[in-house]
Structure 1
Amino acid sequence: MSEQRPGGDQDFSTDAPEIWHRVHPVSPLVRGWVAVAAVVFVFGRNSLDSLFTGGWNGGSSLTGGAPPWLIAAVVGAAVVIFGVAFYLSWRFTRYQVTDDHVHINSGVIFHQQRRARIDRVQAIDVVQPLVARAFGLAELKFEVADGGKSAMKLAFLKLAEAKRLRAAILARAAGVVVDAASPALVQEAPETPVLELKPARIVGAAVLSSTTVVALGLLAAVIGLGAWSGRPGTLVVALPIFIGIGASYWKAVTGDFNFRIARSPDGVRLHYGLLETRAQTIPPGRVQAVGISQGPLWRPLGWYKVHVNVAGYGSDASQHGSRTVILPAGTLDEVMAVLGLVFPDPGVDNPFEVFTAGLRGHGNAEGFIHSPRSALWIDPLTWRRNAFRATGTALLCRHGLVFRRLQVVPHERTQSLGLRQGPLMAALGLVDFELHSTVGHIRPLVRHMSVANGLQLFDEQAARAATARRIHRSEKWLQADPPAGAAVAAEHHHTIEEQHSGD
């Protein structure tokens, strides 16, 4: 798949139909080390139990009374079984990258053949778990637009090979043309650093998170219960819960440690992780929605968290949402810098003022339209915070007082719209507006609008979304754009056809 030039630059080309590749021979061991460790643990624990109960005398207690030749035979059989299983797992796993698809075949007894269209690739990660890093290996994980159930993995490859493969897939997804007679070789796109979070920021964000509020509340409840019952031992009962809270802190700190974000022609690149490192690439135009949030403990420091919805990530429950976070804790200026990467055209002349009003403002500042006064009866504190504004390229949804949230959805990424109204809201003349994006952390919603504003927004947003999808540029971001005016002409032609069809 790859060629090496004498000068040392690594280039990339896709595979012919008859060419297949295998993962690194050590891959099964890296994947299955937990099973090996479990066998060693069980055997070692039994040996230690025998040691403390029977001592060293005779040595038979260490083997539970079994003869040494039997123990050696069991160990040898385990080595052979694991060795054969690992070899077959490696032998029957192969992959291929063509100009249009990525193929992965695996399975010994039950064969699995997976194929993903390269132009549907939404994001690519190069992941290095701790054990894989010891061998200089990495896992290549990429998502296609399939609601979070389509992750394809190649585990494990040499780190350099994983990067080369990532570059090859991204180049083809970007629309780089390959001449069949002389295939184009594409170098890995360079990246320009944008920002880096210091360890103190990561630790501070974890300590000042909602986990701390829960921990303090639980601690107060346990201490109060112990004082009321006169049994200080009550604290022991809550010990497993506090261990779980400590594990949550550990995961938050190690997961976001060394967080860096950069831009490249391939898209937004994220680097993070302490024990397991991850290099994440989100190509241009793959972000379906952006969510900015701020908890009460972060407000004095002016920190915000930025999430994104990306087709293929889904709710990201397996990673506790870390893959959908593109800024764990950033200042307002850093938030604007990140928004400029994933949302380069905000559709307004004063984006800083508009987005600041979306994050901190109340009322109708900077063109936001908030809930009517009748919402005071069911939303007395936040009725002036709940608001929306449509720009030339996106819809902004603002809500929340204690936990502030601003959700941004590009018009062309609108999947569907909905209006929701209960009996009490109907009596007050209110309605909730729902904008359905790709499944993910962000669920855009405008709360407690007037019925008139809700119906108007429903009709206007549907028209904006339809127009934006028709003139949206190709998903292949490095393809040449159509001639100037072609998109407008196409839109005009479509509008005329709609008018004729309605006559």
Structure 2
Amino acid sequence: MSNGERLHPAAILFNFIKVIKEALFAIILGFITFRDESFFYFILISSVLVILLIIYSVASWYRYTYRIEADELRVEYGIFIRKKRFISINRIQSIDLTAGVIHRIFNLVKVKIETAGSGMSSEASLTAVKLAEGERLRNELKKERTPLNDVEEQLVDEEPSYKISFKRLFLAGSTSGSIGIILALFAFVFSELEQFIPNRFYDNTVEWIIGLSLFFIIGLSIVVLILLWLFGIAGTMIKYGNFTITRNKDELFITRGLLEKKQLTIPLRRIQAVGIQESLIRQPLGYVTVFAEVAGGSMDKGEEFSTVLFPIMKADEVEDFLQELLPDYAKQPEELNPLPKRALKFYLLRATLPITLMFAAVLYFLPPFIWIPIVFFIGALFLGFLRFKDAGYDVEGKRLLLSYRTVSKMTMIIYHKRIQAFEKKQHKIQKAQELATMKLSIIAGLGGKHYTVKDMEERDVDLLSDWYSYRK
């Protein structure tokens, strides 16, 4: 492949959509600002900008070429300033294929190429190529000469594979906790409706709602919450539909998505840690989420910048799951080294201090609503106790297991060679109580990942420090 190849012409549309998305806030702000007397000028300026964006998108597509030559992927782009990027095949860590709705219409894929130093974004991204071309590129860049029609067909019956069932997928959506995010978004949109609805109609609607009976308002609120809950389920099912994870030699392959189909490749050597998340909703039901921290992955790679290995499974299934796919991380200790009982008061104090300040403010300004901070105070006490109870650690050989909680309980499994820094912190009160805070860091995403366990037994932190520094 000596001559430069261009992307599929559909890349023009993707470039245009990308620019519009980046400028969406400015467009909305301009519409709100000039929607009255200057609306004609807003439309005129917008039309000119749209024409310029179309020209820019076409020129960007025409000037973007790629080719494989001399064991390198060579990409050239830039309209006025020509840029060239050479990516050695030996540096490539993963090649991911993504197909959104528009991609599927034209039988296209987006090819994302990542190296160990990709950081916040991919090393190279081919926004639109034919599916066969994307698979051929993946074969050549991975130095595989056998044809590849589809990840699932290539790997079937060769290596261990797990696929999420519809029942589990529905349960993942039901317990995802996304209803809170959707409710906040709904409240924000509702608060901004006044900008776009005639004042008389808006005021009449608000007066009508206020005039309704209390039971009707409660019933309407329940219906709205149920609808938001269903939206959360739909979002999870669209994101993780057909989720499949398969191990092939030294890599994990993940395929997921209903509307946007993603195929992720994770080399095992890039996995820095494996985590198990137990949310407040799922933990009583015995379900967890398994994820991995991957070095060099782009920030949009996975959930909260981590790569989800399986969206939801029973807690007692995790060890078998890891034994099949990541046996080095499989064995779980029966018990952890817990925090000393004298640390409990610090956890309760940290959890309840903000609520105490809110309690004082409500008591002074809104005494009839004093029950609200009381309810929050009880909840904060419970959360503080859970944080104390769930914190702990275990060391086995060169493997460290940490457990802690912010809101969800997190269990991290990390090998010694993956830890980049270890820090012991201790303020005067902790020193008097012979307590200390441990913080360690690994390479993952942008800026790394940091894990902190507060108010540990001081001698335990010193033992872990010796373990990290190879001191006997």
Would the aligned equivalents of 1:294 and 1:404 in 2 still touch at CA under 8 Å? yes
Would the aligned equivalents of 1:122 and 1:310 in 2 still touch at CA under 8 Å? no
For 1:142, which of 113, 120, 135 is the aligned residue? 113
Cα distance between partner residues in 2 of 1:100 and 1:422: 54
Cα distance between partner residues in 1 of 2:118 and 2:428: 33
Q: 1:144 to 1:353 in 2, by over 3 A?
A: closer
SS at match of 2:470: helix
Runs of 4 or more above 6 Å deviation = 34-37, 77-83, 213-219, 233-246
Cα distance between partner residues in 2 of 1:388 and 1:279: 34
Code of the aligned partner of 1:372: P
**1:305 has 2:272 as partner:** no
Code of the aligned partner of 2:270: R
Q: 1:242 to 1:33 in 2, by over 3 A?
A: farther
Cα distance between partner residues in 2 of 1:328 and 1:401: 19
Over the matched positions of the two proteins, sequence identity in percent amounts to: 25
1:377 match = 345
The structure that is helix-richer by fraction is 2
SS at match of 2:274: strand
Q: How many pairs are equivalent?
A: 378
1:115 match = 86
Cα distance between partner residues in 1 of 2:438 and 2:130: 49
Q: How many Å apart are 1:376 and its aligned residue? A: 2.8
1:285 match = 269
Q: 1:237 to 1:216 in 2, by over 3 A?
A: closer
Q: 1:423 to 1:290 in 2, by over 3 A?
A: same
Code of the aligned partner of 1:370: P
Q: 1:166 to 1:447 in 2, by over 3 A?
A: farther
Cα distance between partner residues in 2 of 1:217 and 1:115: 44
Report 1:64-79 matches (<5 A): none
Q: How many Å apart are 1:89 and its aligned residue? A: 2.5
Would the aligned equivalents of 1:296 and 1:403 in 2 still touch at CA under 8 Å? yes
Cα distance between partner residues in 2 of 1:154 and 1:341: 33
Q: How many Å apart are 1:199 and its aligned residue? A: 2.5
Cα distance between partner residues in 2 of 1:277 and 1:320: 15
Code of the aligned partner of 1:106: Y
Q: How many Å apart are 1:100 and its aligned residue? A: 5.0
Cα distance between partner residues in 2 of 1:101 and 1:429: 56
Gaps of 5+ in 1: 2-17, 38-63, 65-74, 173-184, 358-364, 465-503
Q: How many Å apart are 1:249 and its aligned residue? A: 4.7
Q: 1:315 to 1:141 in 2, by over 3 A?
A: closer
Cα distance between partner residues in 1 of 2:103 and 2:85: 24
Cα distance between partner residues in 2 of 1:450 and 1:295: 26
Q: How many Å apart are 1:36 and its aligned residue? A: 9.8
**1:387 has 2:392 as partner:** yes
Code of the aligned partner of 1:301: L
**1:405 has 2:410 as partner:** yes
1:164 match = 136
Would the aligned equivalents of 1:196 and 1:258 in 2 still touch at CA under 8 Å? yes
SS at match of 1:449: strand
1:28 match = 12
Cα distance between partner residues in 2 of 1:302 and 1:261: 21
1:340 match = 323
**1:104 has 2:75 as partner:** yes
SS at match of 1:426: helix
2:353 match = none
Q: How many Å apart are 1:431 and its aligned residue? A: 1.3
Would the aligned equivalents of 2:270 and 2:296 in 1 still touch at CA under 8 Å? no
1:426 match = 431
Would the aligned equivalents of 1:147 and 1:439 in 2 still touch at CA under 8 Å? no
Deviation larger for 133-142 or 186-195: 186-195
1:69 match = none
**1:270 has 2:254 as partner:** yes
Give TM-score, length-normalised by structure 2.
0.67
Cα distance between partner residues in 1 of 2:295 and 2:406: 29
Deviation larger for 233-242 or 135-144: 233-242
SS at match of 1:345: helix
Report 1:128-207 matches (<5 A): 128-146=99-117, 148-151=119-122, 152-171=124-143, 185=145, 188=148, 190-191=154-155, 192=159, 194-207=161-174
Would the aligned equivalents of 2:66 and 2:74 in 1 still touch at CA under 8 Å? yes
1:324 match = 307
Cα distance between partner residues in 1 of 2:108 and 2:52: 24
Q: How many Å apart are 1:212 and its aligned residue? A: 4.1
**1:94 has 2:65 as partner:** yes
**1:208 has 2:215 as partner:** no
Deviation larger for 292-301 or 153-162: 292-301
SS at match of 2:134: helix
Q: How many Å apart are 1:293 and its aligned residue? A: 0.8
Code of the aligned partner of 2:262: R
**1:462 has 2:469 as partner:** yes
Deviation larger for 290-299 or 437-446: 437-446
Cα distance between partner residues in 1 of 2:228 and 2:259: 19
Cα shift readout 1:465-490 (whole Å, capped 9, x = no counterpart): xxxxxxxxxxxxxxxxxxxxxxxxxx
Q: How many Å apart are 1:86 and its aligned residue? A: 4.8
Deviation larger for 260-269 or 238-247: 238-247
Code of the aligned partner of 1:327: F
Cα distance between partner residues in 2 of 1:159 and 1:447: 50
Cα distance between partner residues in 2 of 1:187 and 1:341: 27
Code of the aligned partner of 1:108: I
1:435 match = 440
Q: How many Å apart are 1:196 and its aligned residue? A: 0.9
Deviation larger for 393-402 or 193-202: 393-402
Cα shift readout 1:20-72 (whole Å, capped 9, x = no counterpart): 332223322344368899xxxxxxxxxxxxxxxxxxxxxxxxxx9xxxxxxxx
Cα distance between partner residues in 2 of 1:453 and 1:99: 53
SS at match of 1:262: strand
Give TM-score, length-normalised by structure 1.
0.64
Code of the aligned partner of 2:244: R
Cα distance between partner residues in 2 of 1:133 and 1:445: 43
Would the aligned equivalents of 2:120 and 2:299 in 1 still touch at CA under 8 Å? no
Cα distance between partner residues in 2 of 1:314 and 1:138: 18
1:68 match = none
Cα distance between partner residues in 2 of 1:421 and 1:315: 33
Q: How many Å apart are 1:259 and its aligned residue? A: 0.8
Q: 1:396 to 1:262 in 2, by over 3 A?
A: same
Would the aligned equivalents of 2:441 and 2:449 in 1 still touch at CA under 8 Å? no
Q: How many Å apart are 1:167 and its aligned residue? A: 2.6
Code of the aligned partner of 2:413: V
Q: 1:452 to 1:23 in 2, by over 3 A?
A: same
SS at match of 1:456: helix
Q: How many Å apart are 1:286 and its aligned residue? A: 1.1
Would the aligned equivalents of 1:88 and 1:108 in 2 still touch at CA under 8 Å? yes
